Amino acid sequence: MKTFMEEYGVIVVAAIVIMIIVVAATPLGNSIKAGIIEAVGKLTTALGTTASVVG
């Protein structure tokens, strides 16, 4: 067991850290997505109410 931990301990710790980052990033990603959707919606509304440009 000692040899196993010496050989693969870093890999196990790295896998745990990656899992924690992925789990934490999911709600953060959802809030960023909601913010982007809201900003695009506001921009679309603002562009729809401005004077039309004929080119």
Give residue limits of the domains in the chain: 1-26
Q: Which alpha helices (DSSP H) does the chain contain, by range?
A: 2-49
The CA-based angle 5-15-21, given to 5 degrees, is: 145
The pLDDT assigned to 54 comes to 64
The pLDDT assigned to 51 comes to 56
Q: Give pLDDT tens digits for 2-54.
A: 787 778 888 888 999 998 888 887 888 888 888 888 988 888 787 776 555 56
Contacts of 8 (CB under 8 A, 6+ apart): none
The pLDDT assigned to 10 comes to 85
The pLDDT assigned to 52 comes to 58
Q: Is the pTM of this model over 0.85?
A: no
16 burial class (0-12, 13-18, 19+ CB within 10 angstroms)? exposed
